[in-house]
């Protein structure tokens, strides 16, 4: 596997690093402490093409590649996990399913505005009673001739408070499976914030990624035009699962970035912090901790980049799937992020436990990567499922 970055990839990485350092890092503490959704950062990222990195120019994208997108999430997450997930959810969970499943009209209507950042995107699958059991959907959509009527609610929706476009998964009827048992027929829809009967509920008070806008969505006799069905009727569950395969690469990149950012902070701290008359970096415990964490972070990085390259090959026309690569990347990167941030905090000692240093925020931000877009247990189901097929 060749991870040599192309000249363009080296240039985007350089730009992301400068942008993260100058524009994102100074806001990270406020974003966390005040649950502040960094609107101005989103506008700046949009101007630089970061809200549609790997989509082609024809649909308004920046004409980049999947690895350049993954590196954007990674670099932003090094300094602010919230900023990383804003890009990831917008790109992977909203723009990507429209790009991959939309009609030419849907692509023309939504992608230029999403890629330019004029509109922000979100994705609604999870419900109060349908988390990991995503097939237990209660939201339903009824075909009423010239429109669809949606009823139900979604929870824990990333970007919800600021999103203009939502991909909503809903039940559209019942079908009989191969053995003649009744099954829910699930479909995907594009819903706009201004559609009648659509409401965004109150934001969640979260442990980490506190600036990320996570809200409930409520649909009460929500009326949307017929042409908002995304993909094939009855294939919504498959669409959601394929979308999450891509989303997991973004979250894996977020986890990777958080772990790398924590290590960067820790390396600087242990050189400066003195105990027993010398820097704590002179102690073998510190050195061995850093060494093992670095090796684990690099291992995670290879899995994340591998998944990105696999998705790129599919974008380039290869007939392949990247579910397993994405699941492996997310499983390992998320576990590494939680583990590394916790161990880094230990090296910071008492200071690390205070909010004067970013490390406790990074530890809180890391935890969500083991939960959303499929828990680590779901990733293991995906990986073992493919092994035991």
89 vs 15: CA distance, rounded Å? 21
10 Å CB burial of residue 193 (0-12, 13-18, 19+) is: middle
**Does 40 engage in binding with another protein (CB under 8 A)?**
no
CB of 90 to another protein, least distance (A): 14
H-state helical runs in the chain? 7-19, 25-33, 39-47, 66-79, 81-90, 96-101, 104-115, 236-272, 284-315, 323-348, 359-368, 376-387
CB of 316 to another protein, least distance (A): 15
Question: What is the CB neighbour count within 10 angstroms for residue 130?
Answer: 18
**Does 273 engage in binding with another protein (CB under 8 A)?**
yes
**Does 226 engage in binding with another protein (CB under 8 A)?**
no
Instruction: Specify which residues 218 forms β-bridges with.
Output: 153, 199
**Does 235 engage in binding with another protein (CB under 8 A)?**
no
**Does 19 engage in binding with another protein (CB under 8 A)?**
yes
**Does 67 engage in binding with another protein (CB under 8 A)?**
no
**Does 358 engage in binding with another protein (CB under 8 A)?**
no
**Does 47 engage in binding with another protein (CB under 8 A)?**
yes
141 vs 234: CA distance, rounded Å? 12
List, in order, residues 6 or more apart from 121 with CB less than 8 Å away. Answer: 89, 90, 91, 93, 94, 95, 114, 159, 163, 164, 165, 166, 167
**Does 11 engage in binding with another protein (CB under 8 A)?**
yes
Burial code (b: 16+ CB inside 10 Å, e: under 16) for 201-239 equals: eebbebebbbbbbbbbbbbeebebeeebbbbeeebbbeb
Nearer Cβ to another protein, position 30 or 274? Answer: 274
For another protein, how many residues bind (rule: CB under 8 A)? 24
**Does 62 engage in binding with another protein (CB under 8 A)?**
yes
Q: Which stretch binds another protein (CB under 8 A): 46-54, 321-329, 371-379, 381-389?
A: 46-54
**Does 24 engage in binding with another protein (CB under 8 A)?**
no
257 vs 261: CA distance, rounded Å? 6
**Does 267 engage in binding with another protein (CB under 8 A)?**
no
**Does 272 engage in binding with another protein (CB under 8 A)?**
yes
Q: Which stretch binds another protein (CB under 8 A): 45-53, 89-97, 235-243, 299-307?
A: 45-53
- Exactly one of 5, 29, 36, 63 binds another protein (CB under 8 A); that residue is 63
CB of 19 to another protein, least distance (A): 6
Nearer Cβ to another protein, position 48 or 267? Answer: 48
Nearer Cβ to another protein, position 19 or 372? Answer: 19
Window 236-265: residues binding another protein (CB under 8 A): none
As annotated, the active-site residues are 373
DSSP secondary-structure letter at 20? Answer: I
55 vs 95: CA distance, rounded Å? 9
Do 292 and 344 contact (CB within 8 A), yes or no? no
Q: Which stretch binds another protein (CB under 8 A): 6-14, 87-95, 144-152, 308-316?
A: 6-14
- Exactly one of 271, 351, 355, 386 binds another protein (CB under 8 A); that residue is 351
**Does 292 engage in binding with another protein (CB under 8 A)?**
no
CB of 62 to another protein, least distance (A): 4
103 vs 230: CA distance, rounded Å? 8
**Does 12 engage in binding with another protein (CB under 8 A)?**
yes
**Does 383 engage in binding with another protein (CB under 8 A)?**
no
Nearer Cβ to another protein, position 53 or 215? Answer: 53
Among 236, 150, 158, CA closest to 198: 150
Strand 165-176 versus strand 121-124 pairing type:
parallel
**Does 274 engage in binding with another protein (CB under 8 A)?**
yes
List, in order, residues 6 or more apart from 150 with CB less than 8 Å away. Answer: 139, 140, 141, 142, 168, 170, 189, 191, 197, 198, 219, 221, 222, 223, 224
Nearer Cβ to another protein, position 53 or 76? Answer: 53
- Exactly one of 64, 84, 117, 374 binds another protein (CB under 8 A); that residue is 64
User: Which tokens is 308 given?
Assistant: 């990105």
Window 70-109: residues binding another protein (CB under 8 A): 72
Do 150 and 199 contact (CB within 8 A), yes or no? no
The residue ranges that bind another protein (CB under 8 A) are: 7-8, 11-12, 14-15, 18-19, 47-50, 53, 57, 61-64, 68, 72, 272-274, 351
């Amino acid at each position: 596997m060749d991870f040599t970055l192309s000249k363009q990839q080296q240039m985007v990485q350089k730009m992301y690093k400068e942008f993260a350092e100058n524009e994102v890092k100074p806001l990270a503490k406020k974003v966390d402490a005040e649950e502040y959704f960094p609107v101005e950062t989103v506008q700046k990222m949009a101007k630089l093409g970061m809200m549609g990195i790997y989509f082609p120019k024809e649909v308004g994208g920046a004409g980049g590649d999947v690895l350049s997108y993954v590196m954007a999430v990674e670099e932003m997450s090094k300094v602010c996990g919230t900023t990383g997930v804003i890009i990831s959810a917008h790109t992977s969970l909203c723009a990507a399913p429209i790009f991959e499943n939309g009609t030419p009209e849907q692509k023309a209507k939504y992608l230029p505005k999403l890629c330019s950042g004029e509109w922000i995107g979100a994705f609604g699958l999870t419900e109060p009673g349908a988390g990991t059991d995503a097939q237990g959907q209660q939201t339903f959509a009824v075909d009423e001739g010239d429109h669809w009527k949606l009823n139900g609610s979604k929870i824990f929706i990333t970007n919800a408070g600021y999103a203009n476009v939502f991909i909503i998964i809903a039940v559209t009827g019942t079908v009989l499976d191969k053995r003649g048992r009744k099954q829910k027929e699930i479909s995907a829809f594009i819903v706009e914030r201004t559609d009648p009967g659509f409401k965004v509920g109150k934001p969640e008070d979260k442990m980490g990624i506190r600036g990320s806008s996570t809200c409930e969505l409520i649909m009460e006799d929500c009326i949307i035009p017929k042409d908002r069905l995304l993909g094939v009727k009855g294939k919504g569950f498959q669409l959601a699962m394929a979308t999450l395969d891509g989303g997991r690469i973004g979250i894996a990149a977020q986890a990777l970035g958080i772990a790398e950012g924590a290590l960067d902070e820790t390396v600087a701290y242990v050189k400066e912090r003195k105990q027993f008359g010398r820097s704590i970096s002179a102690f073998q415990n510190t050195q061995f901790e850093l060494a093992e964490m670095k090796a684990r972070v690099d291992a995670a990085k290879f899995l994340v980049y591998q998944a990105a390259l696999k998705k790129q090959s599919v974008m380039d026309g290869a007939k392949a799937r990247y579910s397993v690569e994405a699941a492996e990347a997310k499983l390992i990167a998320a576990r590494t992020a939680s583990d590394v941030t916790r161990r880094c905090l230990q090296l910071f000692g008492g200071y690390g436990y205070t909010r004067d240093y970013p490390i406790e925020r990074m530890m809180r931000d890391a935890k969500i990567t083991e939960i959303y877009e499929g828990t680590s247990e779901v990733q293991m189901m995906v990986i073992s499922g493919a092994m035991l097929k």
